C-alpha cells in the first residue's frame, strides 16, 4: 500500500463535482427533493476513495459515509432527513460524563449527542423542506467530524465507555509504523537539542518556528489519529491562543507538551498510527490570498536569521509556511502539490528511508536536482491548468545554488500563483 501524507481535504472540488452541486441546489429550489439529494451525494463522493454510498428506492434514500474511524448512516424518507453515528457504548453513566456531553451539545449548531439502546449517538434530523443542500453539508460535516473526534476522546476519559468506531481502518504495515515512530522520536529530540543550544529570550521567535514546524511536520508526515492527533491540536491552539502569555512562556509550554509525548509508551503512539477514509476535511478551504497573507506575515523574518548565521532556522521558516498551511487550510490541489515538493527537498533523508528513490537534494554535496524539480513543477502546472487556466510557475526565476536561494525564489512563485478561472 502506498504511503500517504497529510489529512484528507474536500476543498476545491473539480468541475464535475461543482456541476453536481449546482444541480442539487437547482433541484431543491424546484422542489425535486430526492433528485436534489442524489446530486448532493454525488457531490460529496470522492471518486478516488469511493467514500459515499447511497441507494434510492421509490420515495426514500438510504446513505452512509465514513469519517475517520466512524461511519455516518442515514435515511431520507417520510419528509425527514436523519443522519447519525454511534460513538460509544456504556453499561452505566456518570455525572461527569453527562456534564461533558451537555457541554459538547451546547457547542453544536446542527446536531446533538443523545442516548439510544445503551449507546452514545450523535444525531441530526430535519424536515426535507428545511434541509437544503447547503445546510445538509454543514450538518453532516458536524455529525461526522464530531463523531470521529469524540469516540476516542470520550472512551479515553471515561472508563465505562467503549468506543464504537464502525469504519474499516487500514492498518499501516509494521515496518512503516516503526519508521514513523523512529522519526516521531528523532524529530522531537533533535528539535529539543537545537533549542537547548539557543538563547531562550533572544531567539524566542526562532524557537517558536522550530517547535511549530515540528508539530505540523509530525501531523503531515506521521499523520496520527485519535488521542495523539488531539494532543497535537491542543499544542497548536495553546500557542495561538490570545492569552497575553509572552512567547518564551508559550515556547516553554510547547516544549513541555512535546516532553510528555516523548514519555508516552511506544505502543500508545503506534496505536494512533493508522489510515482511514473520510468524507469531510477538517480544515476549511481558504482562498489563495489567505496563503499569501501567511507568507507576508512570516517571510520578512527570514533575513535576520540568514544574516546572523542561523541558516537552519531560516530554512525551518520556509518549511513552516508549507506545514502550517497543510495543518490549517484546505488547499487547492496545485498549491498542496507544490508544498509537498518543497518538503521533498527539505526532508530528503526521510523520503530515502521510506523507499523513495528520487533524489531531490544531494545531502553529501548539498546540491538540488534542478531538472527533477522543474519536471515536477511542469506536471503540477499542466494538471492544474485544466481547472485554473492562468496557473503558471516561472521556473526560470528559480535559483538552485543553495537551499535558501531555492526556497526564497520558490515561495515567491507560489505567492504569485494565479487561480483565476
Terminal CA-to-CA distance of the chain, rounded, Å? Answer: 35
| Topology classification of domain 51-163 | Yope Regulator; Chain: A, (3.30.1460)
Q: Which of 170-174, 257-261, 386-390 has the lowest mean pLDDT?
A: 170-174
The pLDDT value given to residue 167: 58
- Candidates 42, 82, 44, 31; CA nearest to 60 is 82
- The closest of 195, 88, 67, 83 to 152, measured between CA atoms, is 88
Mean pLDDT, the chain, as a whole number?
A: 94
**pTM higher than 0.85 for the full model?**
yes
**How would you classify residue 246: left for phi > 0, otherwise alpha for psi between -120 and 50, otherwise beta?**
beta
Residue 11, C-beta contacts closer than 8 angstroms, at least 6 positions apart:
281, 283, 284, 285, 286, 329, 330, 331, 332
Closest by Cα among 31, 58, 41 to 128? 31
pLDDT cut 90: percent of the chain above it: 82
Predicted local distance difference test score (pLDDT) of residue 326:
97
**Confidence check: pLDDT of 211 > 90:** yes
Helix runs in 241-299, H state only: 247-263, 266-271, 288-298
C-alpha to C-alpha distance for 303 and 400, rounded to whole angstroms: 18
pLDDT more than 70, % of the chain: 99
Residue 405 or 91, more confident: 405
Which of 336, 332, 217, 320 is CA-nearest to residue 285? 332
pLDDT band at 156 (very low <50, low <70, confident <90, very high): confident
223 pLDDT band, cuts 50/70/90, is very high
Which tens digits make up the pLDDT trace of 160-169?
Answer: 888 776 556 7
Mean pLDDT of 52-59: 95
Which of these, 395, 390, 354, 362, lies nearest to 376 by C-alpha position? 395
| HEC secondary structure over 116-130 | ECCEEEEEEEEECCC
Q: Contact, 83 vs 140, CB < 8 A?
A: yes
The pLDDT value recorded for residue 166 is 59
Q: What was the pLDDT predicted at 212? A: 98
Please write the tens of the pLDDT for every residue from 313-349: 999 999 999 999 999 999 999 999 999 999 999 999 9
For residue 377, give the C-alpha cell: 513543477
Q: Which of 66, 70, 52, 10 is nearest to 281 (CA)?
A: 10
387 exposure class (CB count in 10 Å sphere: 0-12, 13-18, 19+) = middle
Domain layout of the chain by residue ranges: 51-163, 171-415
Amino acid at each position: 500500500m502506498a504511503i500517504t501524507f497529510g489529512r484528507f481535504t474536500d476543498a476545491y472540488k473539480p468541475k464535475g463535482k461543482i456541476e453536481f452541486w449546482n444541480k442539487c441546489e437547482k433541484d431543491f429550489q424546484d422542489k425535486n427533493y430526492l433528485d436534489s439529494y442524489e446530486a448532493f451525494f454525488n457531490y460529496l463522493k470522492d471518486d478516488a476513495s469511493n467514500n459515499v454510498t447511497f441507494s434510492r428506492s421509490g420515495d426514500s434514500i438510504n446513505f452512509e459515509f465514513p469519517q475517520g474511524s466512524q461511519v455516518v448512516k442515514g435515511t431520507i424518507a417520510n419528509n425527514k432527513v436523519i443522519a447519525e453515528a454511534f460513538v460509544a457504548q456504556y453499561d452505566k453513566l456518570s455525572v461527569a460524563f453527562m456534564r461533558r456531553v451537555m457541554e459538547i451539545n451546547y457547542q453544536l449548531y446542527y446536531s446533538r449527542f443523545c442516548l439510544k439502546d445503551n449507546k452514545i449517538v450523535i444525531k441530526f434530523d430535519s424536515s426535507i423542506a428545511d434541509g437544503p443542500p447547503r445546510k445538509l453539508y454543514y450538518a453532516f460535516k458536524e455529525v461526522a467530524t464530531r463523531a470521529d473526534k469524540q469516540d476516542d476522546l470520550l472512551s479515553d476519559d471515561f472508563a465505562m465507555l467503549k468506543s464504537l468506531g464502525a469504519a474499516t481502518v487500514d492498518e499501516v504495515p509494521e515496518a512503516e509504523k516503526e519508521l514513523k515512530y523512529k522519526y516521531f522520536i528523532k524529530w522531537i529530540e533533535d528539535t529539543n537539542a537545537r533549542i537547548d543550544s539557543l538563547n531562550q529570550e533572544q531567539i524566542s521567535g526562532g524557537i517558536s518556528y522550530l517547535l511549530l514546524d515540528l508539530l505540523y511536520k509530525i501531523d503531515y508526515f506521521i499523520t496520527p489519529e485519535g488521542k495523539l492527533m488531539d494532543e497535537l491540536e491542543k499544542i497548536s491552539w495553546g500557542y495561538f491562543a490570545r492569552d497575553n502569555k509572552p512567547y518564551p512562556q508559550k515556547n516553554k509550554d510547547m516544549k513541555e507538551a512535546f516532553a510528555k509525548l516523548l514519555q508516552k509508551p511506544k505502543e500508545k503512539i503506534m496505536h494512533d498510527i493508522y489510515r482511514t477514509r473520510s468524507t469531510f476535511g477538517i480544515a476549511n478551504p481558504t482562498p489563495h490570498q489567505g496563503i499569501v497573507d501567511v507568507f507576508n506575515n512570516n517571510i520578512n523574518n527570514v533575513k535576520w536569521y540568514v544574516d546572523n548565521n542561523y541558516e537552519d532556522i531560516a530554512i525551518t521558516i520556509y518549511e513552516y509556511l508549507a506545514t502550517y498551511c497543510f495543518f490549517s487550510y484546505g488547499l487547492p490541489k496545485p498549491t498542496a502539490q507544490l508544498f509537498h515538493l518543497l518538503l521533498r527537498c527539505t526532508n530528503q533523508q526521510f523520503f530515502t528511508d521510506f523507499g523513495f528513490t528520487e533524489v531531490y537534494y544531494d545531502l553529501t554535496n548539498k546540491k538540488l536536482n534542478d531538472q527533477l524539480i522543474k519536471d515536477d513543477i511542469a506536471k503540477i502546472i499542466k494538471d492544474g491548468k485544466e481547472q485554473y487556466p492562468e496557473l503558471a510557475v516561472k521556473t526560470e526565476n528559480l535559483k538552485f545554488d543553495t537551499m535558501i536561494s531555492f526556497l526564497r525564489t520558490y515561495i515567491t512563485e507560489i505567492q504569485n500563483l494565479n487561480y483565476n478561472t
